[in-house]
Amino acid sequence: MRDVKDLVLPHLQSPKGYDGVRSLEAMAEESGIPPEKIIRLNGNENSYGPSPKVAQALASFDQYNRYPDPEQKRLREALSDYTGTSPDSIVAGNGSDELIDLIIRLFVGSGDNIIEPTPTFGMYRFSARLVDAQVVPVPRDRNFQLDLESIELAMDQRTKVIFLASPNNPTGNTAREGEIRKLLELPVMVVVDEAYYEYCGQTAMPLLGEYPNLIVLRTFSKWAGLAGLRVGLGVMDPHVASLMMTIKPPYNMNRAAEVALVASLRDRDLLMSRIKPVVEERERMFSLLESIPKVTPIPSQANFMMVRLPEGRGEEIFHSLAKRGVFVRYYTDEEMKDCLRVSVGLPSETDGFVEALREVVKE
Ligand SMILES: Cc1ncc(COP(=O)(O)O)c(C=O)c1O
């Protein structure tokens, strides 16, 4: 019998996984703190939760025994109203993560490459590596602005997609329209990932009519509190959308996600009314963090911010916070090793985090 390991594709023999947010139970077990006392600020989730209409709609829906519509008719119509674009330019996905994966499948093959201005969201490189593509990181400048010249220099014949998160995760800053236009003039697909759009109000959506190589991603995980139900979308040239609809798994959007999405859009005013308190909380957290010696928060346009810690102490501080039941995001990358990313949650969560950080930094 052949060793099954030899049957695995060569580039997946020892893959790098995605370091996702672990379950509340796992965090409680690691810290020895009961789940209800854990401060969970590591996933950029929405601490306010979904619209109350979501639970009502899920409870009264009676078609769970039926497959979802592979053509996503109702969903695409509802999303057309949200995006202001035609339904045939929209593809809904199991989180925007799935859209990232579908984009890679459609445009990027083995030996091709993608470009990502770093530091940035980890799913672009994760999905690219699965298809044996190369990932070309192009570092942002000291203020995390794009280095357009280096991006252009990094391109070659096999560059297929540039992934640009705006606001960027983890740095929280947005790209300017002029910069996005310059990228769109390049002969590659440009994905503008607007997962945090509702917190900043800046969008590349109006450029879609001018540039068929643009794809805009959005998600309901952040502003609408549906991270656990997985609702994302891509808006693109209708021809690209029709190809993506053809290659996606037929029932990629489960019926619960569909029901929750429609109910959320019906309660959009309530969900949008929760944006302001999060933005205000972000600014309050920023001021509190500024008052801790040797701690520097980085201004952000999203529902999280990056925080610079005293030099050489990043990992230790991250672990000490976790021991106190405070979970934030830590990155082992060289350029990020003295930083952490913290989500903006409820005022009580901010207070718990800031107090724990103040103590831990003093140690
Ligand atoms: C920039 C960015 N894009 C996409 C996602 C994924 O969102 P979703 O939950 O829709 O898969 C995230 C999640 O943190 C993100 O930060």
So what's the pLDDT on residue 352?
97
pLDDT in tens, 218-240: 999 999 999 999 999 999 999 99
Is the CB–ligand 1 distance for residue 193 below 6 Å?
Answer: yes
Same domain, 333 and 185: no
Same domain, 264 and 251: yes
Would you say 54 and 256 are in contact if contact means Cβ atoms under 8 Å apart? no
* pLDDT confidence tier of residue 79, bands split at 50, 70 and 90: very high
So what's the pLDDT on residue 265?
98
Buried b / exposed e over 155-171, threshold 16 CB at 10 Å, is: beeebbbbbbbbbbbbb
Give nearest CA residue, ligand 1 atom 2. Answer: 195
Residue 100 CA: which ligand 1 atom is closest?
4
So what's the pLDDT on residue 148?
98
Q: Which of 235, 270, 305 is the last residue of a domain?
A: 270
pLDDT in tens, 164-200: 999 999 999 999 999 999 999 999 999 999 999 999 9
Scanning the structure block, which residue is given the tokens 């930094």?
361
Q: Which of 223, 244, 270 is the last residue of a domain?
A: 270
Into how many domains does the chain fold? 2
Report the predicted TM-score, pTM, of the whole model to 2 decimal places. Answer: 0.97
How much distance in Å is there from the Cα of 96 to the middle of ligand 1? 6
pLDDT in tens, 6-27: 999 999 999 989 989 999 999 9
* pLDDT confidence tier of residue 1, bands split at 50, 70 and 90: confident
Residue 121 CA: which ligand 1 atom is closest?
1
Is the CB–ligand 1 distance for residue 101 below 6 Å?
Answer: no
Considering the domain boundaries, does residue 44 fall inside one? no
So what's the pLDDT on residue 335?
87
**Which two tokens mark 335?**
């350029």
pLDDT in tens, 244-288: 999 999 999 999 999 999 999 999 999 999 999 999 999 999 999
Is the CB–ligand 1 distance for residue 121 below 6 Å?
Answer: yes
So what's the pLDDT on residue 2?
83
In eight-state DSSP terms, residue 12 is: G
**How wide is the angle at C-alpha 149 spanned by C-alphas 107 and 123, nearest 5°?**
40
Determine phi and psi for 161, rounding to 5 degrees.
Answer: -140, 140
DSSP lists the bridge partners of residue 135 as 114
The DSSP bridge pattern shows strands 113-118 and 134-139 to be: parallel
Averaged pLDDT for residues 60-66: 98
Q: Which residue has the higher pLDDT, 334 or 353?
A: 353
Give nearest CA residue, ligand 1 atom 7. Answer: 96
Averaged pLDDT for residues 69-77: 97
Indicate whether 207 pLDDT > 90.
yes
Same domain, 342 and 213: no
Same domain, 321 and 230: no
**CA–CA separation, 246 and 99 (whole Å):** 13
Averaged pLDDT for residues 74-81: 97
